Structure 1
Amino acid sequence: MPSVQIKICGLTTREALDAAIAARADYCGFVFYPPSPRTLTPVAARDLADRAGARIGKVGLFVDPDDALLAQGVEAGSLDAIQLHGRETPARAAEVRARFGLPVWKAIPVTAAADIERAAEYREAADLILFDARTPKGALPGGMGLKFDWSLLAGYDSPIPWGLAGGLTPHNVCEAIRATRAPLVDTSSGVESAPGEKDIGKIAAFCAAVRSA
C-alpha cells in the first residue's frame, strides 16, 4: 500500500506549523471560518504561509464561503487547495475550482452508506473527497472529535481521490487506516490539548502512527 498522506488541520501558531513540518505531514490546514476556535485572520494566515513556504501543502478550510472570502483566504494563505466544508453543491464546487484555479477538496458528513455514495456527485467538480463525521445540528461542521462507522468505507472504490477525517487521534489512526485503506488522513482536535490549541507531542505522535500503519 502506498504511504498514507497526512493533513494536520486548524494550525494557528508557528510552533504547531513547525511541528507538522518536522513530523513530515503532507498538508497543513488553515481555517477561514470565524465561529471556529481555529480561525485565522488574513494577517495570521500570511505569517504562517510565509513561514511554511513550499515545505508543506497549504489547504484553506471554508464553510459556504462567498467569493470575496475565498479570494482573501487564497491570497493570505498562499493556498495550494481549497477545502469546502459546508453545504456546497457540485455546481458550486466546480465554480470555485474554475474561478480560483486550485484543486477543490469537498468534505462530506457521514452517518450512513448513502452519504458515502454522495461522493460520486462530485466526481466532475472536486479533486478530493474528505469523509468526515456528521456533527449535531448547530455545532461546528468539523473539529469536534467525532468519528463515524469506518466499516462504511470497507472496500470503497472511489471515483476520485479521497481522505478520512473525524475523531482521528494518535491512538486510533492506525486502526482507521487498516479498516478503510484511506489514502489520506486528516486530524484537528485529535492533536489538541484544548479546542484550538495544538499539542506538539500529539502532532509528532499522530504522524509517526500513520507511518507505522
Structure 2
Amino acid sequence: MSTLIKICGLQTEDSLDVALRHGADMVGFVFFAKSPRHVSLDCARQLGARVNGRALKVLLTVNADDALLAAAIAALDPEILQLHGQETPERIASIRARFGLPVMKALAIGSYTDLVQIPLFDAVADLLLFDAKPASSEASPGGNGVAFDWSLLRRIETRKPWLLAGGLTPSNVAGAIGKTRAHGVDVSSGVESAPGVKDVGKIAAFIEATRGSCADLQKRAS
C-alpha cells in the first residue's frame, strides 16, 4: 500500500487545487482561532465543495466542544475528524458516537515516555498521528515546523494506521518514511513560504518526493 499523503492547513483555492491535482489523499482544514491556518465556516464550505470527492476532507480541531464540532462539520462535510488537543480516550469515544465520523487522534511525541499513551488511543481512534511535542511557548499544538526523534517510532506496534507529522519537508520526507515506515505523512508548515501561506511549488514537490519514496521502497521489497 502506498504512503498516505495529507496536506494540512489549506486556506486558498490555489493551494487546494495543487494538492488535489498532484494526488494528495487527504486535505486538512483547521478550525482553531489561534492558528495562522484557521478557516472560517464560510471558507470551509467553499473549499470543501471544491474537493468534490477527489480526496478525503479532514476537519482539524483543538479541544473543541460539541457546538463547534457540529458547526464545522455542517460547513465542511468532512470524512475524518482530527483531534489535535488534549482530548481523552473517553472524549474521542463520545465524539465518534455523537457525530458518526472516523477520528484521527494526534499525539505529541518528545521522548520514550510519550509512547506509553499510544495503546490507550489506539483502542478508540480510527487513525493515529504522531507529531512533535510543541514548546510551552507555542500557541499551536501543531504546524510548528519542528521534527522529533523519529527513531522513537521504530518499535511501536499499533492496530490502527498512523501518520507522521512534525518538521516534514520535500527534502526530508523520503528519509522520514524510510526510517519510520509510517503509513502516511502529514505536512503543513513544511510547504509554506510563511506561517499559514502555502507555497504551491512546495506542495507539488512534497507529494512528488513522497510518491518517489514509496516507489523506491517497493522496488527494494520486490
Q: Under TM normalisation by the shorter chain, which class is it?
A: over 0.9
Q: What does residue 81 of structure 1 align with?
A: 80
Residue by residue, what CA displacement relative to the aligned partner does 1:34-89 show, whole Å, maximum 9, x if unpaired?
A: 00010010000000001111111100110000000001111111111100000000
Q: Distance in 2 between matches of 1:83 and 1:40?
A: 15
- Counterpart amino acid of 1:50? A
1:16-95 paired onto structure 2 within 5 Å: 16-95=15-94
Give distance in 1, aligned partners of 2:137 and 2:55. Answer: 33
Distance 1:83 1:168 in 2: 18
| TM-score computed with the length of structure 2 as normaliser | 0.94
Q: Which moved more, 1:99-108 or 1:110-119?
A: 110-119
Alpha-carbon distance between aligned partners in 1 of 2:74 and 2:150, rounded to the nearest angstrom: 36
Aligned AA for 1:47? Q
Partner in structure 2 of residue 141 of structure 1: 141
**TM-score using structure 1 length:** 0.98
TM-fit CA distance, 1:194: 0.5
Do the aligned partners of 1:94 and 1:124 also contact (CA within 8 Å) in 2? no
- Greater shift, 136-145 or 198-207, is seen at 136-145
Is the Cα–Cα contact under 8 Å of residues 10 and 37 in structure 2 kept in the other structure?
yes
The alpha-carbon deviation at position 154 of structure 1 amounts to 1.2
Q: Say which SS state the counterpart of residue 145 (structure 2) adopts.
A: coil
Unaligned runs of 5+ in 1: none
The answer on whether the counterparts of 1:155 and 1:180 sit within 8 Å (CA) in structure 2 is no
Q: Show structure 2 runs of 5+ residues with no match.
A: 214-222
Residue 181 of structure 1 is matched in structure 2 by 181
Which residue does the alignment assign to 2:217? none
Aligned residues: 212
- Give runs of ≥4 in structure 1 deviating > 2 Å: none
Distance in structure 1 (CA, Å) of the matches to 2:64 and 2:89 = 14
Of 153-162 and 203-212, more deviation after overlay is shown by 153-162
Give 1:114 shift: 2.3
3-state SS in 2 of match to 1:97: helix
State the match for 2:216 in structure 1.
Answer: none
User: Partner of 2:144: helix, strand, or coil?
Assistant: coil
The reply on whether 1:126 has 2:125 as its aligned counterpart is: yes
Larger mean Cα displacement after TM superposition, 120-129 or 45-54: 120-129
| Identity within the alignment, % | 52
Give the C-alpha shift of residue 159 in structure 1: 2.3
Residue in structure 1 matched with residue 160 of structure 2 by the alignment: 160
How many angstroms does 1:113 deviate by? 1.7
Deviation at 1:8, TM superposition (A): 0.2
d(CA) in 2 for partners of 1:103 and 1:16? 25
Q: Distance in 2 between matches of 1:103 and 1:21?
A: 21
